[in-house]
Amino acid sequence: MTTFNNLLFEKENGIASITINRPDKLNALNIQTIEELKEAFQQIYDDPEVKAVLLSGSGEKAFVAGADISEIADLTELNARKFAENGQEVFSMIETCHKPVIALVNGFALGGGCELAMACHMRVASANAKFGQPEVNLGIIPGYGGTQRLTQLVGKGKSFELCMTGDMIDANTALSLGLVNYVTGTIEEAKAKCEELLGKITAKAPVAVSLVIDCVNAAVNQTENGYQTEANGFAACTKTEDFKEGTQAFLAKRKPQFKGE
């Protein structure tokens, strides 16, 4: 397994745990960290032992407090577009990963950190989590897909408000807006909730789970007919051994044993 400078990467019981590990910088995303995330998720794509992913930030203060401002400050129009497109490409890898990805959000998830959390399939927050897209305070806008995914999750009006004011919202407000799935009291409770969710999901048919990801993503992809994607996925499931196992187990009133085949 690759050794990373800015990530902690562990595997246990089919779960890959990725931790952004720059606590002295509040886990800010610099170019190297983005590249390491890309490499880590490429390994996850290719590793049959990994069934799901848990993404978090190290320390008590932040999931990811934003992008590295020291790098952003030197951007010009010539290289800023490539900077944004590179981050969007990596976050798209996460969003379209055929294995479920849950973000465990503790502390600040701002700017690129909020965008990273939104690229995951689900988000579980501890009570001290803070979310926001404060880029307008720097004279820029979100560049890693924030305007798009925030609108998809919370709606157009609230997305306008958050992106134009740069305001932060707390965990319970994020929950009420649909930005997060669950809020717990502590980071330990949030981790336990993530593990509970991942345990439920990884007990299901892996091919079916991966096709759910494709279909839900298709629902917000204007270039794709989501209904056709769903019909195609439904048909593809019927070719799997897991489909036979699931239906036979149901009829026999026993618990299915899925193999991802």
Give which of 66, 162, 75, 59 is closest to 115, Cα–Cα: 66
Distant-in-sequence, close-in-space partners of 8: CB < 8 Å, separation ≥ 6: 17, 18, 19, 21, 58
Active site residue 115: yes
Residue type, 212: V
Terminal alpha carbon distance of the chain: 25
Active-site position among 135, 189, 195, 245: 135
Cα dist from 20 to 48, 51, 58, 125, 157, whole Å: 23, 20, 6, 16, 31
Using the Cα atoms of residue 78, residue 81, residue 87 and residue 90 in order, give the sign of their dihedral: negative
Total Cβ atoms within 10 A of residue 114: 32
Active-site position among 35, 36, 39, 115: 115
Give which of 252, 251, 212 is closest to 234, Cα–Cα: 212
Cα dist from 82 to 61, 86, 90, 231, whole Å: 30, 6, 12, 36
Q: List the structure tokens of 91.
A: 């976050």
Helix H segments across the chain?
31-46, 69-72, 77-95, 112-119, 146-154, 156-165, 171-177, 187-202, 206-218, 226-237, 241-252
Active site amino acids: 115, 135
